[in-house]
Amino acid sequence: MRMSVPAYLSLGLAIILVLITYAVHPDPGLLLTVLPMLLVLAVVPLLLNEMNRRQAANVNMSDFQFYQIKDLQKLNTGAPVRLRGTVEAASLKWLNRPHFKINDGSGVVGVFMFAAPRENIMPGDYVETAGSLRAFGLSKERKLWGVRMDKI
């Protein structure tokens, strides 16, 4: 279980502000008020991340039809899709919403994950992913909004 980098930064900034405030005005009442708030600031992102991962683990891959990347242009937006391919690139892992470039030999597609996979997926790994097809940006480029990704 881990938090995203922005969550760690927010928690760190809040702790620093509390320490500075307490150093200027050492009031025990301040600590009784602020410490539960800091605890919530630390626990909520961890719980949400774990809930997202559990939901993704419950997704049944067989509910998604298998396609090759070259065939995705024929599908409507929102179509449930399952792909297999090699990870060419991985980015945005620090947000716990990673983006992968998947190549299956017929083409390359971007996969934005709803939740970070439990396994550490790196470029070169062969994976199976499931999600829904979406059009992103002004170019309406087709990408997959992934709900589950597993190493094969």
pLDDT digits (tens, 9 = 90+) for 38-47: 999 999 988 8
Identify the CA nearest to 103 among candidates 119, 121, 88, 118. Answer: 88
Q: Which two tokens stand for residue 132?
A: 């829904």
For residue 95, what pLDDT is reported?
A: 80
Phi, psi at residue 110, to the nearest 5°?
-85, 140
Say how far apart CA 126 and CA 73 lie, in whole Å: 23
Spell out the domains of the chain, with CATH numbers in brackets: 5-57 (no CATH), 61-151 (2.40.50.140)
Point out which residues pair with 136 in neighbouring strands.
141
pTM of the model: 0.76
Does an H or E element contain 132, and which?
A: strand 126-136
Q: Which positions of the chain have pLDDT values less than 50?
A: none
For residue 108, what pLDDT is reported?
A: 94
For residue 125, what pLDDT is reported?
A: 95
Say how far apart CA 142 and CA 6 lie, in whole Å: 28
Q: How far is CA 94 from the centre of its chain?
A: 9
For residue 133, what pLDDT is reported?
A: 92
